[in-house]
Structure 1
């Protein structure tokens, strides 16, 4: 009996010992060029066990129980891979090299990123080339504003975020008015609005909420080949990348309070919805209020942004993104200068403007409800081909009072007349896109191809009132009621109240206009690796534009076809560290027909035109040195716009396509992390722009107003202590500025120049795993400065913000 008990006890101990000794699995992750990939996420499915690959692409997961398992291997920009394996007898299993094929960031929304060393740079994106392409491999230049940079600066609005993009300068603040109420920015000599959301057309008629921004990508130069003309300008495009689901459970709560009544509360929540971790849901929301630094004015906004990612299996996945926002604001203060006659004042000193006056009231507001939705299906056709189908819909409305102050030059004494309208308009867009992406070899030559077709529809409805005269003001604060367009001298008073404005608008007509346009497109782009260090990018787009115009007027209908080619070549003298590139890029604008011929000689005829064209030649250098501690780009560009419609010099009754604009310059961007904890962002740009051919003597041989300042510069550095008693503490400081700019620059008006400026900013913060506390000082030296585009708009004086973030 005693021997039997000893045998049973020995068996139990040996069984227990065997169960406590688990095995392990290890391997190496490489891409299809045999290059190791660090920072890859390797997880055992349906467990909490996981690691990231090291600098050599190697990994090992220990304490793996005996049995059958599935290894899930995922990394940003690559297709997720699932590998079944079995552990028996507590073995250490070493897998063959695991090859990840490049996929599409757009196709793989659920990601995990390790701690990045150079936090102000991003080496790779799938949106700029519609392919997962490293910056060093891309012949096009783009500037990325990362989420780490936004947090470092306690950014509370979209305009402040864009100050970090090299060569970008605000022209107009967001007005919220119908049709083009988003902000305007100058980029490489041309105006541009942010109209791309996650690589797809999206409406941003009001100000974009910074709380939902993952990053901003500013793509430089004409970009019509891949994105068409509806959302781009000749200077480039602005793509807003929003927050999306990620692996794991977590989120954060944030509260920011600051000067001029600024308060914002934000929430971010991410969670799996099933036990197999195939469905992830993320919800972002924010509510913000802010008063103006002037005597009147405010803005308040609310948004909620749900997003969902569902991986059905290793081949099929779906994602959904939505953003519902509501904003209300007063008119931003603009003084519109006369565009056809000289103003009495030639500069701000002569104008005598009291920048603390808004010339509005808090009763006169505009509301901008906006919705953006996107549904996407991704299917893995093979290891080398992927299908992506996207449907996006957007809607934005404008309701309320919009006014402007214009110097007509009639009354003298720098008198600006106010005209006001009650806006009631809506814009809706639909975009359907089908992309096929491939990564394959023909012989020894690697090809990364995207082929796509796209349908874009825009419908605009306008039921706004006409504009009514509503008094005059002078920049120093005077007012009068004399209508400059009547022979009598009136002395009426105009109260800035909704009831009084409604009474004045009662006699105005109401527009009843509904217009539509359609764009049908097909495009293809191929990145060809002739050698590992030598590649070329070739692309072509076909665009068919169908304009229905006002649905009640068939005479404004027209259609137009455009081709947009693109070519680039890139050589890496030091592979993955240094590249030299050159590109040719194209943009275009559809041109409406015009009536030509002498009306006294008989009926006029309708003449059609070719699309207006912009062509860019660019060359430069990009670096990724010292193990990603130094990313830099230096480039020179030359953009020529041709085929602008002008009056025929031989006949005032005829039109020809002979107008030309030239814009050239250089840009430098540096992102560096010389030591752990220290991050630096710096940029400098210079632009020379001129209208070289035109029938309009007012602008000929002059710098266009939309070109903004010739010189722009920005700098920001942040340092976080890594150890010791100050571990977690950090500080940041920087500045941004611009050279002087033309507010007016016409032959008959002369020049009105807004002065140059440099604005300094600083921050201090403390963070640990669960929370972060920050203080931010904007415009530290209280610099009085202005921006404008035939307008004068004062910018915010000194302001301080406090931010608290709790993470869970």
Structure 2
């Protein structure tokens, strides 16, 4: 009886204690009183938390008595911390929490709860320089999330971009000075990834995928907000890096794969002060990889520290840096003749042995790169904030660069090798001051950004000239007969540094330094005429001060250019369906370029007038079934005038005066039809043509940088949610392209690279702290090629294994 009484008293005490626990409930909206879905709410220094529902409401149960700090975080909005007191087990109700849109200083806090549609995260403060939802933005863009990259075990930037609709690689990163991180085709025009966190960030090597939070591919001419230095007429590519977030955590990851691939990476995040106002994050990675060909390798290391410091509720600072070092053998392209027909009209006739690299592991390039960014955000009022940004980049190239070119002189599809000793550097500085407002004039809501921008680029080249260094044939033959001499020669050309250095002793070394400055002012406003109807208008003023070659005052010039944009958007079903149309402008202040055959004497700098591009586009966007189905469908038409193009009669010259038209459709779908299943699919069709030119070689023909007419991609990832297979998952997808021109000139005819479809698959198992995954790329071992007046074989079948530990 005594034991029973003790048990009853213990049960009653426990029940009373439990019943005295309180709760926290409330609702969260943005400044326009729109409920926010999926906002993260976390009780500081605890594991208790939740997310808001479709009405912006939340509730956290079983909270013991005490004083707490409620951390409210949502991507694209300022993080808020709210003091809360729970006493006597009562419910603490917060009627309305308003989150103010701002720059992404702290990443969202991850708490328990389902986040739907993991392959689509379209809330961003970068695309419009305003934190607009996708359904509110008249511009089209694709977002590649870190969840998508994780599901695909992505190890390089090129594979990541295969998930973007309408993007195709033209030219892989060579490491050569000025080439940057490769070239891609987008809406009929070549583009390079040159933006990091919305600001110029250059690289001469491949961007490391281990530091990517997401990739934003912004479609169409975008000079109004981003200027001309780092954009293209087809759009731009913005890499959003990993940043500090509230809390302690991180992960260690190791990936190993075919062809000697090994990568170890680390991610560490922590608070640096007791008040949790300073957060530090460090990402780092070291990778080595060999080629599937007989020679070739790449090794890279990077470290990326970042810091966020919230001084108070009004003022915050952030810092980002990335220091990387890469060494590689440059990929060898077969350059086709631009002025005379190649002996072979297709790959079958060419008899290309793509397992041959035609290079040596002794001949390498080094690419040290640094990117830094400092940002200050100050909340001027509830409706206005100030953003000040300083960004600096430096990238260098040192080592040997070579290429193979078909002169059509020696016969038998003979390609001559030319080699140079590279020593170049590019440095940029960008300073921006933005004022961002969200206010009403009468009953009309305005979201406005006004900014001024200063951009400086300094390019230094001390490269040697290009020297002839032997011949090859695609099937593997070699000879030393110089096509520029009348005699038949049998000189050996060993692929060694000593042999190359001996030949380069007769070559001159450039001493060129060029500068350009761009002073800009821009304004863009999104006006809500009604909750469903909005209009966007913006304009940019750019003043160019191009010094050209500092040793040549004759190539200096100044120019002033305006760039407008307009858009209109209507939501027949609010927050679920939007119809949009836009007019966008782009321009390019073309930097002076070295032209002239280096074998005929010193190269010279040539300057150009700006090019102009104008786009008309319309389409619709959806966000249906509680964010389970997102789709964007659009049609665009772009016209470019005064375009600078490579002279088909000489690979060493540029010409101006062309007119190009590019039009097409794009379809992107992101779906989460059932819990655990995420799908991403895309299709694009592009029709491009040079409609006006004084060069008959290219007139009425598809430009070579337009890439394939048709591109498609698909990826589905399913993770079991319960039972014995809980945590186990599968992924399957493909990407492909129609045939495309490697050469398309009147005098040469056409050399067409065939269409391809590449199938990929993965399998994984993950629990709270561990993830193990296997990924099979090019599962069917498709032999396929890419190129831009070149022929470049792509990676055959490759298997990767990944192990990740989270803490």
- Normalising TM by the smaller chain, what interval? over 0.9
In the other structure, the counterpart of 1:243 is 242
Could you tell me how far apart the structure 1 residues matched to 2:705 and 2:211 are?
29
CA positional deviation for 1:79: 2.5
Could you tell me how far apart the structure 2 residues matched to 1:608 and 1:492 are?
39
Could you tell me how far apart the structure 1 residues matched to 2:752 and 2:801 are?
36
- Deviation per residue, 1:382-409 (Å, 9 max, x gap): 1111111111111111010000100011
Which SS does the other structure have where 1:377 is aligned? strand
- Deviation per residue, 1:747-791 (Å, 9 max, x gap): 111111111111111111111111111111111111111000000
In the other structure, the counterpart of 1:362 is 361
In the other structure, the counterpart of 1:791 is 790
CA positional deviation for 1:59: 2.7
CA positional deviation for 1:186: 0.3
- Deviation per residue, 1:675-720 (Å, 9 max, x gap): 0011111111000000000001110000000001110011111111
TM-score by length of 2: 0.93
Contact 1:364/1:401 (<8 A) preserved: yes
Q: 1:120 to 1:63 in 2, by over 3 A?
A: closer
Could you tell me how far apart the structure 2 residues matched to 1:325 and 1:208 are?
9
Contact 1:385/1:439 (<8 A) preserved: yes
Which SS does the other structure have where 2:627 is aligned? coil
In the other structure, the counterpart of 1:55 is 54
Contact 2:332/2:402 (<8 A) preserved: no
Which SS does the other structure have where 1:636 is aligned? strand
In the other structure, the counterpart of 2:637 is 638
Contact 1:109/1:319 (<8 A) preserved: no
Contact 1:46/1:275 (<8 A) preserved: no
CA positional deviation for 1:65: 6.3
In the other structure, the counterpart of 1:308 is 307
- Deviation per residue, 1:513-553 (Å, 9 max, x gap): 11111111111111111111111111111111111111111
CA positional deviation for 1:132: 0.6
Could you tell me how far apart the structure 2 residues matched to 1:69 and 1:325 are?
42
Contact 2:309/2:318 (<8 A) preserved: yes
Contact 2:106/2:243 (<8 A) preserved: no
In the other structure, the counterpart of 2:481 is 482
In the other structure, the counterpart of 1:764 is 763
Could you tell me how far apart the structure 2 residues matched to 1:170 and 1:386 are?
39
Which SS does the other structure have where 1:125 is aligned? coil
Could you tell me how far apart the structure 1 residues matched to 2:389 and 2:114 are?
31
Alignment of 1:146-545 (within 5 A): 146-545=145-544
Q: 1:73 to 1:582 in 2, by over 3 A?
A: same
In the other structure, the counterpart of 2:599 is none
- Deviation per residue, 1:492-531 (Å, 9 max, x gap): 0100001110111111111111111111111111111111
Q: 1:175 to 1:75 in 2, by over 3 A?
A: same
CA positional deviation for 1:645: 7.1
CA positional deviation for 1:487: 1.9
- Deviation per residue, 1:650-669 (Å, 9 max, x gap): xxxxx998531000000111
Q: 1:69 to 1:181 in 2, by over 3 A?
A: closer
Contact 2:287/2:301 (<8 A) preserved: yes
Contact 1:67/1:87 (<8 A) preserved: yes
In the other structure, the counterpart of 2:598 is none
In the other structure, the counterpart of 1:725 is 724
Q: 1:645 to 1:338 in 2, by over 3 A?
A: closer
Contact 2:252/2:265 (<8 A) preserved: yes
CA positional deviation for 1:264: 0.7
Q: CA RMSD of the aligned region, Å?
A: 2.4
CA positional deviation for 1:50: 4.2
Could you tell me how far apart the structure 1 residues matched to 2:458 and 2:606 are?
26
In the other structure, the counterpart of 1:676 is 675
- Deviation per residue, 1:719-768 (Å, 9 max, x gap): 11111111111111111111111000001111111111111111111111
Q: 1:64 to 1:733 in 2, by over 3 A?
A: closer
Could you tell me how far apart the structure 1 residues matched to 2:678 and 2:314 are?
39
In the other structure, the counterpart of 1:143 is 142
Alignment of 1:71-86 (within 5 A): 71-84=70-83, 86=85
In the other structure, the counterpart of 1:659 is 658
Could you tell me how far apart the structure 2 residues matched to 1:744 and 1:19 are?
76
- Deviation per residue, 1:76-108 (Å, 9 max, x gap): 222333444555555433222222222232x44
Contact 2:73/2:108 (<8 A) preserved: no
In the other structure, the counterpart of 1:651 is none
CA positional deviation for 1:17: 8.6
Which SS does the other structure have where 2:529 is aligned? strand
Q: 1:699 to 1:427 in 2, by over 3 A?
A: same
Which SS does the other structure have where 1:618 is aligned? strand
CA positional deviation for 1:460: 0.9
Contact 1:708/1:742 (<8 A) preserved: yes
Which SS does the other structure have where 1:133 is aligned? coil
In the other structure, the counterpart of 1:602 is none
Could you tell me how far apart the structure 2 residues matched to 1:645 and 1:145 are?
31
Which SS does the other structure have where 1:753 is aligned? strand
- Deviation per residue, 1:614-659 (Å, 9 max, x gap): 0000000111111111101110000000134799xxxxxxx99853
Contact 1:571/1:579 (<8 A) preserved: yes
Contact 1:646/1:694 (<8 A) preserved: no
Contact 1:211/1:266 (<8 A) preserved: yes
CA positional deviation for 1:57: 2.1
Alignment of 1:744-783 (within 5 A): 744-783=743-782
Unaligned runs of 5+ in 2: 1-11, 594-604, 647-653
Q: 1:109 to 1:803 in 2, by over 3 A?
A: closer
Could you tell me how far apart the structure 2 residues matched to 1:645 and 1:789 are?
16
- Deviation per residue, 1:136-181 (Å, 9 max, x gap): 1110000111111111111111111101100000000100101123
Which SS does the other structure have where 1:161 is aligned? helix
In the other structure, the counterpart of 1:126 is 125
In the other structure, the counterpart of 2:690 is 691
Which SS does the other structure have where 1:140 is aligned? coil
CA positional deviation for 1:52: 3.0
CA positional deviation for 1:45: 5.2
Q: 1:18 to 1:473 in 2, by over 3 A?
A: closer
Unaligned runs of 5+ in 1: 1-12, 595-605, 648-654
Contact 1:109/1:309 (<8 A) preserved: no
Could you tell me how far apart the structure 2 residues matched to 1:179 and 1:434 are?
28
Which SS does the other structure have where 1:725 is aligned? helix
Which SS does the other structure have where 2:543 is aligned? strand
Which SS does the other structure have where 1:363 is aligned? coil
Contact 1:112/1:247 (<8 A) preserved: no
CA positional deviation for 1:798: 0.7
Which SS does the other structure have where 2:724 is aligned? coil
TM-score by length of 1: 0.93
Could you tell me how far apart the structure 1 residues matched to 2:42 and 2:172 are?
46
Which SS does the other structure have where 1:552 is aligned? coil
Contact 2:106/2:246 (<8 A) preserved: no
Could you tell me how far apart the structure 2 residues matched to 1:181 and 1:40 are?
38
CA positional deviation for 1:29: 1.2
- In the alignment, is residue 708 of structure 1 matched against residue 711 of structure 2? no
